[in-house]
Amino acid sequence: MKSEDQPNSVPFANCPACGSSNVRSSAQAVKFKYGNDSDAVELSATVPSTACMSCGEEFLDDRADRAKHDAVCEFLGVLKPSEIAGVRGSYGLTRADFASLTGLGEATLGRWERGLLIQNVGNDRYIRLLRIRDNIELLKKMTGSSVERVSQEPKFRSGIDRSRYHPAALSIMPRRSEAA
């Protein structure tokens, strides 16, 4: 089994193909395509690679995928997953607390931090602004939250049609007397 099939992020201790412990890790420069058809560009990344000295099999793990993802983020000019997690971590906030404070989705933050999605330019700029402590303090004032209180804020109830409560939808909502 090749390492692409394995979810671990630790270098191989034994070769998955032959079981030998005679494995060596090294950095390898790889080129890969990013984009579709005529819009595709060739990017390069240095990825960790493990080779078995006994059978010659080479393996990549999820660290290689992260290195490629980071190269794509650099190409697009957006923060890397580790940088997004670093912004949140610099304030000592859990993902749930950071999401509650910023209005970003907790699941979305997780996807950005794990490198499953790349944030758009607007969200990237927002996160960059959150690197400035004064902006976090301003958000706390705007939301009436302190770091201690953020996780105690009520969550939206499920089953509610949130579009009815979106500010843009308020002008088209019928008034009670008109709906009756």
User: Which pLDDT tens digit goes with each residue over 66-103?
Assistant: 999 999 999 999 999 999 999 999 999 999 999 999 99
Residue with tokens 């939250």: 145
CA 28/CA 104 separation, integer angstroms: 36
Architecture of the structural domain at 81-153: Orthogonal Bundle (1.10)
pLDDT, residue 47, reads 92
Q: Where are the domains of the chain?
A: 3-61, 81-153
β-sheet with 58-59: strand ranges across: 23-34, 41-52, 58-59
More confident residue, 156 or 66: 66
Has this prediction a pTM greater than 0.85? no
Could you say which DSSP state residue 27 is in? E
Please report which residue ranges of the chain form alpha helices under DSSP H: 62-76, 81-90, 95-102, 106-113, 121-129, 133-143, 147-150, 176-179
pLDDT, residue 60, reads 84
**Per-residue pLDDT for 145 more than 50?**
yes
**Per-residue pLDDT for 113 more than 70?**
yes
Average pLDDT over residues 38-64: 90
Average pLDDT over residues 127-134: 96
